[in-house]
Structure 1
Amino acid sequence: MAGPETVAAPEAGAGPVGVGPHPLPWPDDPRLDPALLAGGDRRNVVDEYRYWSNEAIVADLDARRHPFHVAVENWQHDFNIGAVVRNANAFLAAEVHIVGRRRWNRRGAMVTDRYQHVRHHPATSDLVAWCRGRDLPIIGIDNLPGSRPIQSAELPAACLMLFGQEGPGLSEEAREAADVVLHIPQFGSTRSINAGVASGVAMYEWIRRHATV
């Protein structure tokens, strides 16, 4: 049977990406979405998930998610949250937790929030209670005095990594709640890196130690 028409990744500003309509007869697979088979799949998903329904993709990811969680504070409508969600999807985090304001800018997530579980906590105390009830250590990520470098510190397989927002970093309450605070070593003139970048570095450090590639 002929395979689907593959549409090559275009130059910036060019045409669509993904694959076109699947040739008939369609595969007999309940994971596939008839609308995508008929119209093509232009989503930003790996080739393995072409034509799969969103629900089928989430179910497959749920069967193999990693045991680490990621949390980010959202007291001032931090625009980095979308990038945190996108990174969490890329590294297959169990969940993303947003502390503070419920609303967040989804543009940076690039639609990955369809496949990533996102949980809201109104206050830091709610997040802490949630973690304590599951014996999840809270690992603060911030370049604070007394913090330890992430590459040489203990990073448990099951944990929650907590990030502050652009500018102020972790709130005072979050600092007090953290079991330990780790920092990402920097070598330039800037004081800090934003939560989107920091989350990607920290999640990759977890993957480097604990994931089977």
Structure 2
Amino acid sequence: MQTQNTPPEESASSGPAGEPPAEREVGVGPWQGPWPEGEHWDPRLLTEGDRRNVVDEYRYWKHEAIVADLDARRHEFHVAIENWQHDFNIGTVVRTANAFLAKEVHIIGKKRWNRRGAMVTDKYQHVRHHPSVEEFVAWADDAGVPVLGVDLFPDSVPLETYDLPRRCVLVFGQEGPGLSDEVRAAAQATLSIAQFGSTRSINAGVAAGIAMHAWIRQHAHLT
């Protein structure tokens, strides 16, 4: 573990009147003082500084060391999203899955997706591709992971009252069409998110975040 008091990230500050605020500097500079001992430290980052989008606990760590540490603590839920028309929500789903430490993210359909929304978290989050729903369902059956669809159907069960299994995969349809008939047929249940306004649906990336947090509230150890 890091023992050095690392400098805080600099926050944006206002410039002179009429000028935009200074750009916020992310991360920390070169390590100050004797280098720490341990295989997980990255000599290049210790020398040059660490400007990655990682929590302070992982500052100056090697990439592979961070992934290994995350793998030892990952939660038992998976997330899947259908990608038949290049859904732009996938990056958001991957980023949120990383934040909640999902086991894996599964992309069903097209392999290519826009990584901008992931904010580089796809380097730390395992992402698996399934060309078809059939192959995804075969994986879930082999792994013994129940499939739970999240969409607004007349027979959907409220997510707010559903007991989520510890091991499961939460599946989301792409923006607009929602879950495909094939995924709906394979799902153990379909879950709906309570809505109280005028809109007919919730953005797929937002819905994924809500559903993942529902699992966290039921199963995660909060310290």
Compute the TM-score of the two structures, normalised by the length of structure 1: 0.96
Post-superposition offset of 1:200 = 0.5
| Partner of residue 111, structure 1 | 120
Asked whether 1:124 is paired with 2:126, we answer no
Structure having the higher Rg:
2
Per-residue CA deviation, residues 76-127 of structure 1 (Å, 9 max, x unaligned), is 0000000000010000000000000000000000000010000000000000
Aligned to 1:50: 59
CA–CA separation in structure 1 for the residues paired with 2:145 and 2:4: 49
The verdict on how the C-alpha distance between 1:105 and 1:2 changes in structure 2, with shifts beyond 3 A counting, is closer
- Aligned residues with identical type, % of pairs: 62
In structure 1, C-alpha distance between the alignment counterparts of 2:210 and 2:137, rounded to whole Å: 23
Runs of 4+ in 1 over 6 A off after TM superposition: none
Question: Given that residues 10 and 24 in structure 2 are in contact (C-alpha distance below 8 angstroms), is that contact kept between their aligned partners in structure 1?
Answer: no
Question: How many aligned residue pairs are there?
Answer: 213
Report the counterpart of residue 202 of structure 1 in structure 2: 211
Aligned pair 1:20/2:22, yes or no? no
Q: CA deviation at 1:4?
A: 3.5
Asked if 1:155 is matched to 2:164, the reply is yes
Deviation of 1:13 after TM superposition, in Å, equals 6.6
Is the contact between residue 89 and residue 205 of structure 2 (CA under 8 Å) also seen in structure 1? yes
TM-score normalised by L of structure 2:
0.92
> Partner residue of 1:62?
71
Distance 1:23 1:188, change over 3 A: same
1:191 and 2:193 are equivalent in the alignment: no
Where does the alignment leave 5 or more consecutive residues of structure 2 unmatched?
A: 14-20
Q: Please list every run of 5 or more consecutive structure 1 residues that lacks an aligned counterpart in the other structure.
A: none
* Equivalent in the alignment of 2:110: 101
Q: Retained in 2: the 8 A contact 1:10–1:17? A: no
Q: What residue in structure 2 maps to residue 31 of structure 1?
A: 40
Root-mean-square deviation (CA, aligned residues, Å) is 1.4
CA distance in 1, matches of 2:120, 2:4: 30
